[in-house]
Amino acid sequence: MLDPVRGTRDLWLYEVAGDVRTRFTFDPANERYAIWSRDGSRIAFGSDRRGVLNVYQKPSSGAGGEELLVEADVSHNANTWSPDGRLLLHSSLGRPYIVWMLRLDEEPKPVPLLRKPFYVV
C-alpha cells in the first residue's frame, strides 16, 4: 500500500473476516512482493532499502525484527517456500535470470538452480 506522505510502498496485512488492515513494514523504503511461508509463521518480501530489492523475512505476527536473507547487486524476488519451510526459492531480476535456492535451516548460502539469458515464466 502506498504511503501518501513518503511516496513509498509498505506491506499491510488484511484480515478479510473483520475488514481490518494492519501495517506490517515500517521502513521508509519500498517493500513489496510478499509471500507467506506454508505454515503461515513467516513472510518473505523484497525491500529496496539498500538500493536494489533484497529479500527479507519477518514473523507474520509482526513481532520481532526483519531478517535480511539475500543481499545482492541486482534485485531479487522471493518466489516460494518449500512445504517444510526450510528452503526459499528466489530469483534475480537482472540478466542472466537466475533462480536460487536458499537453505534456511543452516547458514544461509544461495545456490543457483536455473540460469537463463532471459526471464522465465
Q: Higher model confidence: residue 117 or residue 56?
A: 56
User: Is there a domain that residue 1 lies in?
Assistant: no
Count of domains observed in the chain: 1
- Taking only the tens place, the pLDDT of each residue in 4-47 is 777 789 999 998 888 888 999 988 899 999 999 999 999 999 99
User: Is there a domain that residue 99 lies in?
Assistant: yes
User: Is there a domain that residue 36 lies in?
Assistant: yes
User: Is there a domain that residue 88 lies in?
Assistant: yes
- For the segment 88-112, the average pLDDT, to the nearest whole number, is 87
User: Is there a domain that residue 107 lies in?
Assistant: yes
- Taking only the tens place, the pLDDT of each residue in 110-120 is 888 888 876 65
Q: Which pLDDT band holds residue 49 (cuts at 50, 70, 90)?
A: very high
User: Is there a domain that residue 22 lies in?
Assistant: no
Q: What percent of the chain clears pLDDT 70, i.e. is strictly above it?
A: 97
Kindly tell me the sign of the dihedral angle through the C-alpha atoms of 30, 47, 32, 18: negative
Q: Are 86 and 70 in contact (CB under 8 A)?
A: no
Q: How far apart are CA 96 and CA 8, in angstroms?
A: 28
Determine the structural domain holding residue 55 and report its residue range. 29-116
Q: Is the pLDDT of residue 107 over 90?
A: no
User: Is there a domain that residue 63 lies in?
Assistant: yes
Quote the pLDDT of residue 101.
Answer: 94
